[in-house]
């Protein structure tokens, strides 16, 4: 009986190990260096936009002059890089934490997760470097509000099921943004564009590993623990939305301070609103709408749980997609 069970599960184990091995192989093949491959002695081109219109929504502010739209896109691009640096703190810690399960076990899976963590440490260093380079070419007064360690502590206080779900969502939308908006826009700073090309190459492996680990965690849990995971995921999305509200407000204030002219109260209100809408679009709506994420989530939750998630997301999505 025991032998039969063992034999029937063996191919599945081998298949899973093979998926981790494929990630290691890709990670080695595309590995890049911040200075040598990405920056290559270049600076940002401040005559060009950073974040494409499809993500920044700046074109909706029709009263802005082209140079003001460009400045607003650069502010959003700087925040975009900082948001990745922010979430990569908690992602790296969580990946190290779950790697513990493999210390005395599957060494291939362990290597895949160690490489994943190493890449997220490198990405954080790159995004810190980019913020300094952006600061050199932008007027003073920009401020990135959320603190990586505070956010990481709050996120990591939630169940692993929820944290891995959020992580898969983030790593999938990173790729979707590059493919759908960044790659095809010829009017973006070349360096800014390259940063997200190289980032995307390594994120592709991360998303595969997130899904494997999320499903593994899911299989380990009782129905009650999974249900708590759904509540935690809803709370995490609300916390992210709180961060976005704070940073959208800070970025709108910075823009109004440095845009070089004054706006009517209605225009100021519109700038605040479009920034929050754009951030909700970038960091929440595009992830939820990513087909792979929707597919995995649907496979892991009950229809009633899906309904709860849908109701919690509705007001945010309604604003982001308006
Ligand atoms: Fe990353
Ligand atoms: Fe990643």
Residue 7: predicted pLDDT: 52
Contacts of 267 (CB under 8 A, 6+ apart): 61, 63
Output the pTM of the full model.
0.94
Q: How far apart are CA 91 and CA 86, in angstroms?
A: 9
Residue 225: predicted pLDDT: 98
Residue 5: predicted pLDDT: 46
What is each CA distance from 136 to 78, 89, 141, in whole angstroms? 12, 24, 12
At residue 105, the 3 state secondary structure works out as coil
Residue 3: predicted pLDDT: 44
Q: How far apart are CA 221 and CA 228, in angstroms?
A: 10
What spacing in Å lies between the alpha carbon of 207 and ligand 1's midpoint? 10
Neighbours of ion ligand 1 (CB under 5 A): 123
What spacing in Å lies between the alpha carbon of 158 and ligand 1's midpoint? 21
Ligand nearest to the CA of 204: 2
Percent helix, strand and coil across the chain, each to the nearest 5: 80, 0, 20
- Residue 32: which region, alpha, beta or left (left: phi > 0; alpha: psi -120 to 50)? beta
Residue of 237, 319, 202, 217 whose CA lies nearest to 272: 319
What spacing in Å lies between the alpha carbon of 234 and ligand 2's midpoint? 21
H helices of 53-106, in order, are 53-56, 66-99
Residue 179: predicted pLDDT: 86
**Residues comprising the chain, all counted:** 322
Contact between 108 and 24 under an 8 Å Cβ cutoff? The reply is yes
Ligand nearest to the CA of 116: 2
Residue 126: predicted pLDDT: 97
Q: In the structure encoding, which two tokens stand for residue 294, read together?
A: 């929707």
Residue 186: predicted pLDDT: 86
What spacing in Å lies between the alpha carbon of 114 and ligand 2's midpoint? 12
What spacing in Å lies between the alpha carbon of 10 and ligand 2's midpoint? 29
Residue 11: predicted pLDDT: 76
Residue of 51, 52, 195, 48 whose CA lies nearest to 130: 195
Residue of 115, 134, 123, 121 whose CA lies nearest to 93: 121
Contacts of 168 (CB under 8 A, 6+ apart): 207, 210, 211, 214, 293, 296
What spacing in Å lies between the alpha carbon of 231 and ligand 2's midpoint? 24
Q: In the structure encoding, which two tokens stand for residue 260, read together?
A: 């070089």
Contact between 75 and 251 under an 8 Å Cβ cutoff? The reply is yes
Residue 1: predicted pLDDT: 40
Q: In the structure encoding, which two tokens stand for residue 237, read together?
A: 């999305």
Instruction: Split the chain (322 residues) into runs of 10 and give each run's mean pLDDT.
Output: 52 86 97 97 95 95 97 97 97 98 97 98 97 96 97 97 97 90 88 94 96 97 98 97 98 97 98 98 94 96 98 96 91
The tally of CA atoms less than 13 A away on the side-chain side of residue 152 is 16
Q: How far apart are CA 51 and CA 185, in angstroms?
A: 9
What spacing in Å lies between the alpha carbon of 220 and ligand 2's midpoint? 24
């Amino acid at each position: 009986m025991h032998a039969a069970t063992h034999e029937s599960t063996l191919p599945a184990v081998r298949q899973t190990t093979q998926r981790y091995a494929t990630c290691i192989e890709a990670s080695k093949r595309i590995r890049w260096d911040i200075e040598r491959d990405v920056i290559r002695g270049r600076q940002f081109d401040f005559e060009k936009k950073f974040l494409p219109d499809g993500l920044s929504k700046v074109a909706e502010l029709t009263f802005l002059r082209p140079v003001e739209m460009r400045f607003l896109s650069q502010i959003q691009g700087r925040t975009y890089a900082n948001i990745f640096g922010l979430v990569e703190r908690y992602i790296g810690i969580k990946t190290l934490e779950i790697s513990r399960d493999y210390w005395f076990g599957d060494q291939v899976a362990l290597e895949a997760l160690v490489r994943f963590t190493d890449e997220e440490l490198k990405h954080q260093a790159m995004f810190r470097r980019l913020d300094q380079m952006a600061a050199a070419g932008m007027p003073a007064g920009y401020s990135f509000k959320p603190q990586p360690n505070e956010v990481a502590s709050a996120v990591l206080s939630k169940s692993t099921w929820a944290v891995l779900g959020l992580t898969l969502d983030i790593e999938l939308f990173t790729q979707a943004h590059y493919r759908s908006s960044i790659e095809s826009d010829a009017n973006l700073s070349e360096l800014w564009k390259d940063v997200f090309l190289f980032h995307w190459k390594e994120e592709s492996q991360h998303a595969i590993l997130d899904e494997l680990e999320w499903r593994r965690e899911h299989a380990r849990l009782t129905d009650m623990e999974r249900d708590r995971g759904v509540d935690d995921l809803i709370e995490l999305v609300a916390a992210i939305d709180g961060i976005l509200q704070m940073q959208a407000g800070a970025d709108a204030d910075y823009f109004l301070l440095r845009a070089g002219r004054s706006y009517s109260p209605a225009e100021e209100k519109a700038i605040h609103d479009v920034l929050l809408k754009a951030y909700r679009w970038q960091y929440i709506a595009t992830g939820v709408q990513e087909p792979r994420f929707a597919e995995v989530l649907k496979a892991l939750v009950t229809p009633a749980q899906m309904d709860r998630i849908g109701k919690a997301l509705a007001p945010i999505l309604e604003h982001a997609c308006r």
